[in-house]
Structure formats: C-alpha cells, structure tokens
A and B are shown apart, each in its own frame.
Chain A
Amino acid sequence: MSAPQDVFDADTGNRSWWEKLRAFRQDKPHLFLLLIMVVIPLFLMPSSTWAVLTLSGLAMGAMLFLMASGMTLTFGLMNVLNLAHGSFISLGAFAGATVLTMWLNDYTSGSLWVNLVAVVPALLFALVVAGLLGVLFERLVIRPVYGDHLKQILVTVGGSIIVMELLQVIWGSNEIPVPRPEALRGALLISDAIPIIGGIALEKYRLLAVILGLGVYALMLWVIDRTRLGILIRAGVENREMVEVHGYRIRLLFLAVFVAGSALAGIGGAMWAMYREIITAHMGEELMISVIVVIILGGLGSVRGCFYGAVLVGLINLYVGYLEPRLAAVATVGLMVAVLMWRPQGLIPVIKV
C-alpha cells in the first residue's frame, strides 16, 4: 500500500541534489551553462579581475545580442539566411559615427547634456538608416529567393559585398576613428567596502551597453510574449501557411520583422563603433562569425536563445582572452562545437511543425 506514497515522493521533494542538478541541466540548459561559465573563472583569477571581465563580457554579449537578434528572427520566421546582416552592422556603425563626429567634433570636452544629445541621435540615425536599407534589401535581394537557401547564401553574400563597397565609396577605405562622448569615457569606481567587487573600476560605456542590451531584450520579450504582433511572429515561426489561412499577410509581417532586425543590427553596429572607437567597412563581416555562432548556439530562430548565446560568447571571449589570449578566437567556436555536441538543436530550440 505504500506504492502511491513512493511515486509522490519521487515527483516532488526528496530527490538528491544530483538529480535536481540533472533536471536543472535538462530543463534550463541556458542557465546551467551560464552558471558554469560564470563560476569556473572565479577560481582561476582574482575576484576583482573576474568582476571587470564579467561586466565586459556582459557588455559584449549585449552588443552581440543587438546585432544577432534580427538575423535569428529572420531565419526563424521566414527560413531566410541573410548573410548580408553584417553589412547592416557596418552601415549602422558608419551612420552612428557620422552623427557623433558632427556633434562632438567641437565639443570634445562637452557637458553631459551635449554628450547625451549626441548619442541618442547617433543611435536613432543608425537605426533608421539600417532599417531603410532593410526595406530596400528585402524587396530587391531577399524577395526573389524565398525558399531557396543556396540562392539566399549566394545573393546575400553578393549584396553584402555591394553594401560594403558602397560604404567605402561614401566614407573612404581608411579606418575611421569614432569619438566616444566624454560622459561615457572613464569608469565608475566601486567602493572598497563592497566585497568581491570592491575597488574595481567599471567602465561607464560597458555599463551603458549592458543596460541598453537588457532594455532591448526586455522589450523584445514583451513584444513577443505579450502582444498580438508577438503571437503572430511565434505562430509564423511555427507554421507560415496557417497564419495566412487566418487572414494575415505573412510577407508584410516578415518585412516588418526584417526591417526591425536590420535596425537592431544598425544600433548594435553603432554601439560597437563607440566601443571600439574605430571602424572599417568590413567590421560587420568580421562580427558575422560571432553573430552566426550566437544564433546557432542559442537555437536558430529563438530570441531567448540568442540572448543567452550572445552573453555566453561575450563572457567566454573575455575570460579566455585574459587567461590565454591566443585562444580567445578559438574559444568562441569551441563553445559552439561543445554545445552542439551536447544539444544539437541549440540551447533553446524553436520547434517547427
């Protein structure tokens, strides 16, 4: 007569911590991996270094998320592989840098107000310009090749080359220095009184990147989880045909998502430009490797997966870059390979019908 009681126990409490850990690994692979990623380096370096690297890694992750989220949605919703995504990043960087240079050239030591007034329009301009290129690109380049991955790869790589050459025509082929606004230079010093992170300097710009990244992530989750547009996007990822059967024009929905994704890539590029303080037309192309790793790692088409993928890539880059600089580039791809061997579908896969 004790059998039902046993079943009850097995279902609720009384599981060993090992079983709980396994269940956690199974149910929340992204958090499990993030935890490992953050905890292990803590034993390999001084805690203040760890804190600085973690913030920098999160900042890089936030910027990578901005750049990658559009591409993962484009793929998830319409099965379109847009390898020209990197050129939207470059365009955003140049657009943002242009506004910043115009605004800040005479104000290198400007007030906080002038600085903020420069950053916001720079990001907005990057967003608008990249978004407009998105509209054009969807019409001219993507539309004729829906449903054919091979053609998409060829055509978008071609489109990407054209955009990058045009950037060089407009802005020249030299590296361009980007002024970082005065208010965002320097660092915040943490009081010595606080344990672990006491006494370290947190770079202001990285804090801003983290805040902006989290803000965009929260906004995207809200749109996707709570709004009608979000329901449509999720439904479209699952089954395009049935979305049309209900009377919605999926092409229009896709155009909107594609433009939003391009605009985000633009913002990401502008943020990256201010972070690196130097840009080239090919920067987007170079970032594409990380972007592709991020979206594969996270599970193609998944916004949540993309966010965690980006944070993981950012963190591993910084940690390994500190511990063994020569391995930093290998670490990103190595992380992807390891995750894919564990979960071939990515961290948070999107299930298609």
Chain B
Amino acid sequence: MSEPILSLREVYADIDQYHILHGVDLDVPAGELTVLLGRNGAGKSTTLRTIMGLTTLTKGQVRFQGRDIGGTATPAIARGGIAFVPENMGIFGQLTVRENMVLAAVSGAMDEQRLNWIFEVFPPLKKFWNRAAGNLSGGQKQMLAIARAVIEPRELLLVDEPTKGLAPAIINDLADAFEQLKQQRVSILLVEQNFNFSRRLGQSVAVMSDGHIVHRGTMAELAEDEDLQHELLGLGLGAHQ
C-alpha cells in the first residue's frame, strides 16, 4: 500500500437527528482503487458525502493530500481535486450532454485529447452530444456522470454505486473504463454492492457496518476468503459464480 491520498480519522456525522457515522477510520491509498463495501444503511454513501462536505462533519478529521478538509465548503473541496459521482448520478437532465461536460470542465475549456479519450471509452456520449441528458438511458447517464468526473485530471474520484440498476453488458463497459482510470493511476474510492464488479477492480477494500469500518485489507485477500465474505457481507457467492 502506498501513502494514503485521503484519510479519515474518527469521523462522525449526523443526518437530522440520526447518528449515521460513528468514528470512521479509512485510508485511500494514492493511485489505487479502493472499494468500500457494506450493506444498505451501513453509512457508505454518507461517508462519501461527508468527504465532499455535503453532509456536515460533527467530529473527527478528513485529510486530503495532507490538508485537513473537514468543514471546508463543497466547492473548495471540488476545486482541490476531488470529483464525486453520487448514487443518483446528479445529471443535469435539462442540459445537453455537451453542456453537462462544459460545466464539469471547471477551468473553462475542455481538453480535446481527454475528450477524445472519453468518446473512445463511452461512444454514446459522442453520439448524443447535443441531446438533452435527461433523455439518455440509465447506463448512458452513468457514463456521462463518470465522464464529467474525469474531463479534467482529478486527484481522487468518489463514485457511489455506479452499477446500480444497470444491465450486465453496460456494467462490463463501466468496468473497462475503471480499468483505464486505474492504469492512469487515478486514486478512486468506489462504493459498491456488486461484489463481482468490486472484486474485478478493487485493489484495497474496506467494509462498513453500522457507521464504522469493520474490515480493512487487500481485495485479493477478501476474494480468497469466503468465510470472511460471509461474515462481513453475508454473501453467498457460490450462486453468482
């Protein structure tokens, strides 16, 4: 494991009167893909939202590239180099695909080389470039959401359940895209429920339960150990293989 680009220490966060995170300790190694696993309601999405400053940190520390970003406003965190793809993708449906991308290129102009690479990985975006993003299919929306996050070089991507509700063929396309991002040594923190997808991509892994991390390690190790999977995730993987 390399030096962490992001580290959470004893992070607490509430949503309304509910305590969602109780002391999350999490390291995201630089240049690796880390998968955050856990059941529904374990606090995975809240963890991402707390890193992004969308959910208020009540206690603890979030350090990104050595700087404390806990309590920083969301736009400043984003400009610091963190991109976030939320679970609902957050596509601007009234805007065209192009306008979605223009907005995502914060510095002003889109880098042509990068854009061509994105078109190569996600051809539908080129095809529907001037169409309203709201008319895209679920898979195409997810492609756009990820494309927005990578149109400019970012230090860290936070991606929340990109495979949710998508057909297997599209999940494969997404996996290919993540493979390419991994080759570019982009640091990624991926929240997933789909274990096969995470196992294919993940290098390190953390498992959440009840608002804190209950397991940390390498993906290879977890993928080997079915007992551990059962214990942590309650997965009956035999059926899926």
Contacts and interface: CB of A to CB of B under 8 A. Distances in A.
A244 interface: yes
B75 A248 contact: yes
A241 B90 contact: yes
A62 B74 CA distance: 39
B93 A353 contact: yes
Interface stretch (A86-94, A191-199, A212-220, A230-238): A230-238
A245 B90 contact: yes
Contacts of B78: 244-247
B180 interface: no
Interface in B127-164: 134, 148
Contacts of A248: 75, 103, 106
A242 B94 CA distance: 14
A249 to B, nearest CB: 5
Contacts of B104: 246
Nearest to A235: B92
Contacts of B148: 246
Given A246-B78, A247-B75, A247-B78, A238 B84 contact: no
Contacts of A246: 78, 103-104, 106, 148
A236 to B, nearest CB: 9
Contact of B95 (A231, A244, A249): A231
B114 interface: no
Most buried by A among B73, B75, B84, B134: B75
Most buried by A among B52, B76, B103, B104: B103
A239 B90 contact: yes
B99 interface: yes
A234 B75 contact: no
A326 interface: no
B117 to A, nearest CB: 20
A329 interface: no
B54 interface: yes
A351 B132 CA distance: 13
Contacts of B67: none
B144 to A, nearest CB: 12
Nearest to B104: A246
Most buried by A among B73, B79, B94: B94
Given A242-B90, A245-B90, A231 B103 contact: yes
Contacts of A351: 93-94, 134
A228 B52 CA distance: 24
Interface of B: 52, 54, 73-76, 78-79, 84, 86, 88, 90, 92-95, 99, 102-104, 106, 108, 134, 148
24 contacts: A228-B102, A228-B103, A228-B108, A232-B103, A235-B92, A235-B99, A235-B103, A238-B93, A239-B92, A242-B86, A242-B92, A244-B74, A245-B84, A246-B103, A246-B104, A246-B148, A247-B75, A247-B78, A248-B75, A248-B103, A248-B106, A249-B73, A249-B75, A351-B93
Given A228-B102, A232-B103, A249-B75, 11 more contacts: A231-B95, A231-B102, A234-B95, A235-B92, A235-B95, A235-B103, A245-B86, A246-B78, A246-B148, A351-B134, A353-B93
- Enumerate the 5 nearest inter-chain pairs by beta-carbon distance, A residue then B residue, closest first: A247-B78, A242-B90, A244-B74, A247-B79, A247-B106
